[in-house]
């Protein structure tokens, strides 16, 4: 009888862990989709979409070490001299979910034109997402330039 209780308990714990991992995996896939939608919003200068993706307290640390708030970041995309990238792609990314927080680490590539010349830029990024009132929002983003080879 004790063996049966131990086996039943072990099965119950294993089923609970599997369900939690599946839920975490689903949340991770959702966060990755949101992170990738950021790319489309950059390409189309869709500040309304970005406004929904970014928390009001959002902070961005750019490759030059400068810091922008959400308001400043969105305003920079509306500036007359802002040139949207022709292509913005996440080459690789990985997400880890920690309850109501998620961290996405990856490589982001943009292709654009500057003074008639094609420019490709790659960055390693870390985006931190938090589930606020059942909505995932990015609260922080850090980018590091990957030098061209």
Q: Does the pLDDT at position 111 exceed 60? A: yes
Q: Does the pLDDT at position 134 exceed 70? A: yes
CA angle 144, 124, 81 (to 5 degrees): 65
pLDDT for residue 92: 95
- pLDDT per residue as tens digits for the range 13-66: 444 433 333 346 899 999 999 999 999 999 999 999 999 999 999 999 999 999
pLDDT for residue 129: 98
pLDDT for residue 65: 95
Calculate the average pLDDT of the chain: 86
pTM for the full predicted model: 0.80
Cα–Cα distance measured from residue 121 to residue 148, given in angstroms and rounded to the nearest whole number = 8
Q: Pairing mode, if any, of strands 67-69 and 117-132?
A: unpaired
**List of domains in the chain:** 2-146 (3.10.450.50)
Give 42's strand partners.
Answer: none
Sorted by sequence, the CB contacts under 8 Å of residue 14 that are 6+ apart come out as none
pLDDT for residue 24: 64
Q: 116: pLDDT confidence band, cut at 50, 70 and 90?
A: confident
- pLDDT per residue as tens digits for the range 59-97: 999 999 999 999 999 999 999 888 888 899 999 999 999
Q: What strand order describes the sheet that includes 87-98?
A: 67-69, 54-61, 135-146, 117-132, 101-114, 87-98
């Amino acid at each position: 009888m004790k063996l049966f209780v131990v086996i039943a308990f072990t099965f119950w714990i294993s089923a609970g862990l599997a369900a939690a991992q599946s839920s975490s995996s689903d949340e991770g896939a959702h966060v990755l989709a949101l992170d990738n939608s950021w790319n489309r919003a950059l390409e189309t200068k869709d500040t309304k979409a970005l406004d929904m993706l970014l928390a009001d307290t959002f902070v961005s640390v750019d490759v030059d070490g400068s810091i922008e708030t959400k308001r400043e970041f969105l305003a920079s995309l509306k500036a007359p001299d802002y040139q949207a990238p022709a292509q913005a792609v996440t080459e690789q990314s990985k997400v880890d979910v920690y309850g109501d927080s998620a961290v996405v680490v990856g490589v982001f590539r943009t292709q654009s034109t500057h003074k008639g010349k094609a420019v490709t830029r790659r960055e390693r990024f870390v985006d931190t997402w938090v589930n606020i009132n059942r909505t995932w929002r990015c609260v922080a983003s850090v980018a590091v330039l990957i030098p061209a080879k």
